[in-house]
Amino acid sequence: MNTSDKAVESLLEHAVPRPEPPREDEQVIREAVQAEWQAISGKRRARTRLARFAIAASLLLAVIASLNVLRDSGIVPVQVATISKSHGSIYLLGEQSELHKLSDLSAITVGQKVVTGPDSGIGLEWGSGGSLRIDAETRVEFISAEAIYLRSGRIYFDSTPSELIASVSSGSDLTKFRIETDHGAVAHFGTQYMTETSSETLVVTVREGKVSIYGNYHDETALEGQRMEVVGYTRASVVNFPRHGSAWNWIEQTAPIADVDGRSVDEFLNWVSRETGLRIVYESPEAEQKASSGILRGKVDMDPRSALAFRMMGEDLNWHIDGGTIKVSSIDENSGR
């Protein structure tokens, strides 16, 4: 130990002990220190809360900005059709070509892609008027309020449905409706027709009216009772085709509900005729008069042929199908034979 250290030690040994502060002063000092600590900690917590709020606000602004971008881009769901009937497995095709089973869906919007499975079908009320039916194993893309893209399979369109189908109008400008395919576009002029397409062919069958087919290689017109087939760039082939029969039967399963309440039997029979392609023939003036005066009640929520058998049981009329006609006669005149 050097000389200076020994001097300091000697002074400490002779120093008087330091007096303790009063208890009340010690308590004040402790409270002041604690208050200062809480103030510092509070500021830290406030800064943490502020940072968290800023992050949440940024995320919210990002979501709002995204929605505004979608609006500005015009990406807003546009309804083009309402589902009136369906059976079997119906799917919506996702962006990654995945299938989502359609359930509790009542409307179709632009951009949706519908795929039907085997033994399936769907009936749509087109937004601007008309009835669109989609057959089994068909793929359809809804590209606008005036057009669809038939990728594969078969569809049917009726631009002037029966007056008994209150939910489906004839529309004011349905001639703008078109069906796009890989082989060309199909447009109509007030009609009932089927369109079928595959990787190789396009077939249009006209029950009523006329239909045009146009594209890179074709500019053709099919008339009532004709079936036109297009293969590649070769000339279209046309054959006569009946307005009834097995090729048309599938559309009856998705016929819209008909409101016959207060309507005559004659009006009901005309609805059956339009849906089946079978013509109505009255075998006597008496039968026609009974059909015109007979009044029905309720709605028809079954296929037309089943409805025909069910509804006619309560009428004083007989009927039978003969070739392409439904022949209607009076029960009284039949019993006299």
Q: What is the pLDDT of residue 70?
A: 41
Q: What is the pLDDT of residue 167?
A: 64
> Among the CATH numbers 2.60.120.1440, 2.40.10.170, 2.60.40.420, 3.30.750.24, which is that of 79-240?
2.60.120.1440
Q: What is the pLDDT of residue 218?
A: 79
Q: Please name every residue paired with 115 in a beta bridge, in sequence order, or none if there are none.
A: 91, 139
Q: What is the pLDDT of residue 31?
A: 60
Q: What is the pLDDT of residue 240?
A: 97
List of the chain residues with pLDDT < 70: 1-75, 96, 166-175, 333-337
Tokens 């309440």 belong to 261
First to last CA, the chain: 150
Please answer whether residues 173 and 190 qualify as being in contact, where contact means their C-beta atoms are separated by less than 8 angstroms.
Answer: no
DSSP string, 124-151: EEETTS-EEEE-SS-EEEEEETTEEEEE
Q: What is the pLDDT of residue 27?
A: 59
Give the percent of the chain with pLDDT over 90. 57
Q: What is the pLDDT of residue 24?
A: 52
Q: What is the pLDDT of residue 100?
A: 80
Q: What is the pLDDT of residue 160?
A: 84
At 47-101, the pLDDT tens digits run 544 444 444 444 334 434 444 444 444 557 899 999 999 999 999 887 767 788 8
What's the pTM?
0.74
What is the CATH code for 257-335?
3.55.50.30
Q: What is the pLDDT of residue 190?
A: 80
CA distance 202 to 148: 15
Nearest Cα residue to 119 out of 136, 134, 132, 102: 136
Tokens 């447009």 belong to 187
Q: What is the pLDDT of residue 208?
A: 95
Q: What is the pLDDT of residue 51?
A: 46
